[in-house]
Amino acid sequence: MKLDCSLVEDLYPLYQENELKPENRRAVEEHLKECNRCHELYQKGSGFSEVSLFPDEKEEKVSKELDDRIRLNFRLRRMKVIAVLLAAIIIVTGINRYAANREQVATLLNGMYSYSRSLNEIADRPYETNSELYLSDSIDDIIDLDNELNWLERNLFNNTSYNFFVDTEVFNEMLTSLKERKSQGLQDETDVMAIELLQKHSKALFQHVQSEYDSFHHGYSSYLEILDIDGIGEPINKIEELAYFYNTYHKLPSEMKLLSEKDLEKKIRTVFNIEEEKVELEKSHNNVPGVYRFEINGIHGEINGYSGMIFDADSSLRLNDKKTKDKKEVMEKAKQFVEKIYGNNAHFEMWQENIGGQPSIYRFRFVPLAGEYRLLFLGSEPYYLQLDAETGDSMFLAHRPMLTKEFFAKKYKEVLSTESIESKAEQVSGVKGKSVEKGIIYSTVSADYVLVHVFEGEDSFVYINAETGIVERPYFFNY
């Protein structure tokens, strides 16, 4: 290719920056071999003719733009290199973090493995083992495992109502009740079936955790493993349901049937005396089976889907049509409201609780009565109804709700003598003394509401059934 000297001079910057195509570069080099003048110019890098390089202002501008493009091209190349390096660093860092996370999950699965194995052993020997001693050591690892879930596992977990360990309080209550019932000759088919179900669910959990443990300890392929949330959470959820229904109703989950939403809506409309408004029902996710949240005409509350008992309501409900401040009239309205919840046969002891500085606010605490006997609670009575006589706003709360209206219909008898009850209490507690209280509790031992005498023991209260002499165990459950 024959090149003109002026063209060779113009190509100098591109030649020096190695921006020429190979064939053009070879053509320039061949010209330099033949032309001493151009060869000398390329050697010195100076002496270029003004005519060829800077013939006028237009050519000077073109040359400057060309230089700017060359510099920009170099900057872009450097930026691309830097971007590639940064991307590589980010990718490597992400991979390292992911690998570290999977390794941490694999390590923390040791705690889950230990927990599920202990739970399985407890289920095999429910009358012998101490669940608190066996299970407590692994809880911290399981909590840490929960915190180490990656975004996919976290998303899967958040879309469920699962836990990674059984509610300790509910589970221990079940085991203690099983032991107490057997030791006092009260074991029945429900107890036997409950143990069989506990063994079934515990075994399923242990087997699945074993499988997960092996998957996360299987060489490099372990880094690709995703924790099976359903496989772990489902048997734990079944154990919690079993414990809840056993403690609360002395029944198995399969024996419990929810009321229809139509029946629940009818109950809600009746209590609040609202016939036409639509009732919004939604299952609650507060870890208690069968609880529904409801809303009707600005009234928000919660209702037990098995018993139909409303145990929480907060609203602008106009219970006081005349907005009266007369205490007796307001209390009568409160009693009528409570009777709608628990039925016309329900009886209560109700009294006003003063709220300083708010003369129009009436708070009435109440305790269910069966004949002359009160329902007993630890601490203050948890039932109250609060009314604002000026605005009509109301609040009802019963977070230790009645399980059944049969509480009011049952006949409670004192069959045993005071001496025999005191003797039994002394045998149990090792402390001789008189009964400090008498009333009704829901007992997980008799699995019913029972009349008891309460005695002070060395470490806790002792409850003796006034009719049978059985050592009872009160069940104070919260929703």
DSSP result, 58-74:
HHHHHHHHHHHHHHHHH
The pLDDT of residue 327 is: 77
Cα–Cα distance for residue pair 406/33, rounded to 1 Å? 115
Q: Are 190 and 251 in contact (CB under 8 A)?
A: yes
The pLDDT of residue 286 is: 66
Q: What are phi and psi of 460, to 5 degrees?
A: -160, 175
Cα–Cα distance for residue pair 106/99, rounded to 1 Å? 10
| 3-state class (DSSP) for residue 116 | helix
Q: If 0-12 CB within 10 Å is exposed, 13-18 middle and 19+ buried, where does residue 216 land?
A: buried
The pLDDT of residue 332 is: 85
The bridge status of strand 471-472 relative to strand 461-465 is antiparallel
Tell me the domain boundaries of the chain.
1-55, 81-255, 261-407, 411-472
Over the chain (479 residues), the average pLDDT of each successive run of 10 is 79 81 84 84 74 49 68 84 92 88 90 93 86 76 89 87 88 94 96 98 96 88 86 94 94 95 92 86 81 89 89 65 65 86 87 76 88 83 78 69 76 93 92 91 93 91 95 79
In the block, which residue shows the tokens 């800077």?
A: 54
Q: Are 302 and 294 in contact (CB under 8 A)?
A: yes
Tokens of 382: 């948890």
Nearest to 413 by CA among 448, 447, 373, 442: 373
- Residue 4 contacts by C-beta under 8 Å, 6 or more apart in sequence? none
For residue 357, what are the CA distances in angstroms to 287, 354, 360, 362, 464?
38, 9, 9, 12, 43
The pLDDT of residue 322 is: 47
Cα–Cα distance for residue pair 338/405, rounded to 1 Å? 13
For residue 68, what are the CA distances in angstroms to 14, 61, 63, 76?
12, 10, 9, 12
At 121-137, the pLDDT tens digits run: 999 999 886 766 678 78
Length reported for the chain: 479
Q: Are 338 and 385 in contact (CB under 8 A)?
A: yes
Nearest to 401 by CA among 439, 426, 372, 366: 366
The pLDDT of residue 120 is: 94
Cα–Cα distance for residue pair 335/106, rounded to 1 Å? 58
